Every structure is written in C-alpha cells, then in structure tokens.
C-alpha cells in the first residue's frame, strides 16, 4: 500500500504531518509535502503590526546575529518571521528564531521533520497591547515543543525575560536570572541586555554592533585617522620649515664667517705689505 502524502484535512491553518506519518513517506513524497506547506502566514495568524519599533528591534537583532555568526564561522541559522512547522502542530512564525549546527542558507519555511531538528531559540518582541500570548501561552507551548530557550523583549517597558529548559527532555521552562543586567543565552553563547531602551548583545565585554553602527564607527575611525594624518603632515611641514630656517641661519652665519675671514686675510696682507 502506498504511503500517504498528507494528513487528513483539518480546520485551521495547514500543519505538517505527524512524525509517524512522515516516517512512512518516501523521499519524493516528503519533498512534495514540504513544497505544499505554505510559507506565507495568514493575517489571522499574525498579530497586528506594531510599527517601526517592533520591526526595527527584530530585524536589528537578526542582522546583528547573522553577521556575528558568519564572522565567527559558526553554523547558526537565524531568521525572522519564518513559518515553522512542527509535526501535527499549528504553525507559527516567531519574531526571531535560531537553530545551531545546521546549514546556513535561504529558506522559505522551517519544517522540523524535513530539517531533522527543531528550533533552539525563539525571541518575541512586544511593543504594546496584550502580552498574554508572549508571556503565558507561548511559554508553555515552546517548552512543550522542546525549544531550549525563549526570550521576550518587551520594548515598550524596556524589559527582558528569558526561559530555558533545565535538561534534555524537559518540557517546562525555568526562568533565567539576570546578572549585572545581563541575561546569558547558552544557545547563542552571548549575553543579552537592554541599554538605553534597546536590546544589545555582548560577547564578554565586547558589544555586537548593528550595521549602521559599524558604518558610523568606521566613518569616525576614518575621520580620526585622516585628522591624525593631516596633523602629522602639518607637524612634518612645520618641522621641515623650522629645519630649513635653521639651515638657512647656519648658512648665513657660515657666509658671514667666510666674509669676515676673507676680510681679515686682506687686512693681514695689507699690514704685511705696509710693514715691508
């Protein structure tokens, strides 16, 4: 009997097959199932847009982490608002997600059965309105799905909350404690902290900068370097002028000395002739 290629229709958004059903599919059938799962979330599934504050926070975090892991040579996939399919579960699209030790490439969806791995970290960015879904519902849901860490960045209140599964196989989160205002992520290997109302990432004492900040820092460094170069060139020019003036003065003194010596010689010759 041929293996089924999809789960029976169910109300609500599309879901990935249950793991047992997935295991029974051929590679071709699995590929067909993955392609059949929509990458676009419906308006009913997505919460209303919270404006630039919400978008800037999650995209800024995504870009900072992508640049950091690429530079560090770590295989960490980071995405924002990517449709995620766990077996037989309602799909969801986190503000930010991270998966370690996987191929880093463009994706339109994350199908856990196809990837062979679930998410390692999820972050929600909240700006205003009812935070019950982030602070209560998803705390239980993500723990049940085995997502190792879950962070909620409440930008409106400048508050950061973190959770972690205490052990492999655990399905209930434990809250993470902040030390010196920082909350450590074992998944990312970084510290998270809110500074001046913005979410920041640290590796030890080194702050990870956004692309805009890197450009500004490079521009400032270039400007400072050019200013130093101009100051050094001016200093060398002034030194050269002083040396030239000193050399000219030495040459003038030598000329005067030569003239005096010549004059004395003439006077000596005249006295000798007169004496004779």
Residue 188, in any domain of the structure: yes
To which H or E segment does residue 255 belong? helix 211-275
154 and 93 in one domain?
Answer: yes
- Give pLDDT, residue 224: 73
Residue 2, in any domain of the structure: no
- Residue 41 Ramachandran class (φ > 0 left, ψ -120 to 50 alpha, else beta): beta
177 and 54 in one domain?
Answer: yes
- Give pLDDT, residue 218: 58
Residue 48, in any domain of the structure: yes
88 and 162 in one domain?
Answer: yes
- Give pLDDT, residue 237: 85
**Which residue from 38, 61, 267, 238 is spatially nearest to 152, judged by alpha carbons?**
61
Residue 232, in any domain of the structure: yes
Q: How far is it between the farthest Cα atoms of the chain?
A: 144
- Give pLDDT, residue 227: 76
Examine the fold and report which residue of 180, 208, 236 is the final residue of a domain before the chain moves on.
208
Q: What CATH number corresponds to the domain at position 137?
A: 3.90.1570.10
What share of residues in the chain are helix, strand, coil (percent, to 5)?
A: 45, 20, 35
Residue 229, in any domain of the structure: yes
The residue segments making up the domain with residue 67 are 19-208
Q: How many domains does the chain have?
A: 2
- Give pLDDT, residue 209: 85
Residue 8, in any domain of the structure: no
74 and 92 in one domain?
Answer: yes
pLDDT tens-place values along the chain, 276 residues long: 344 444 445 567 789 999 999 999 999 999 999 999 998 887 667 766 668 888 888 999 999 999 999 999 999 999 999 999 999 999 999 999 999 999 999 999 999 999 999 999 999 998 877 778 888 999 999 999 999 999 999 988 889 999 999 998 999 999 999 998 999 999 999 999 999 889 999 999 999 987 666 555 556 667 677 778 878 888 888 888 888 888 888 888 988 888 888 888 888 888 888 765
Examine the fold and report which residue of 208, 225, 243 is the final residue of a domain before the chain moves on.
208
128 and 252 in one domain?
Answer: no
Examine the fold and report which residue of 155, 173, 208 is the final residue of a domain before the chain moves on.
208
Q: How many CB atoms lie within 10 A of CB 26?
A: 11
- Give pLDDT, residue 216: 56
- Give pLDDT, residue 7: 47
Please, which residues bridge with residue 207 across strands? 202
Joined tokens for residue 213: 């900040």
- Give pLDDT, residue 212: 64
Residue found by looking up tokens 């995209």 in the block: 59
156 and 65 in one domain?
Answer: yes
Q: Provide the whole-model pTM.
A: 0.74
195 and 106 in one domain?
Answer: yes
- Give pLDDT, residue 5: 44
């Amino acid at each position: 009997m041929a293996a089924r290629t999809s789960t029976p229709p169910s109300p609500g958004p599309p879901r990935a097959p249950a793991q047992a059903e997935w295991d029974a599919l051929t590679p071709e059938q699995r590929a067909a199932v993955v392609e059949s799962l929509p990458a676009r979330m419906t308006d009913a599934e997505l919460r209303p847009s919270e404006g630039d504050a919400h978008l800037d926070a999650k995209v800024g975090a995504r870009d900072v982490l992508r640049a950091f892991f690429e530079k560090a040579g770590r295989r960490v996939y980071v995405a924002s608002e990517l449709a995620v399919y766990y077996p037989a579960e309602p799909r969801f699209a986190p503000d930010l997600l991270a998966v370690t030790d996987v191929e880093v490439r463009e994706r339109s969806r994350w199908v856990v059965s196809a990837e062979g791995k679930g998410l390692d970290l999820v972050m929600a960015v909240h700006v205003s309105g009812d935070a019950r879904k982030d602070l209560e519902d998803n705390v239980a849901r993500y723990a049940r799905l085995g997502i190792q860490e879950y962070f909620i960045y409440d930008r409106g209140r400048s508050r950061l909350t973190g959770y972690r599964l205490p052990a492999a196989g655990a399905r209930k989160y434990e809250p993470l404690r902040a030390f010196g205002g920082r909350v450590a992520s074992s998944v990312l290997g970084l510290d998270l902290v809110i500074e001046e109302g913005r979410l920041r990432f640290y590796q030890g004492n080194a702050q990870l900068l956004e692309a805009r900040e890197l450009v500004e820092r490079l521009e400032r460094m270039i400007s400072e370097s050019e200013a130093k170069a101009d100051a050094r060139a001016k200093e060398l020019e002034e030194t050269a002028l002083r040396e030239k003036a000193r050399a000219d003065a030495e040459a003038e003194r030598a000329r005067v000395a030569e003239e005096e010596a010549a004059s004395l010689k003439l006077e000596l010759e005249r006295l000798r002739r007169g004496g004779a």
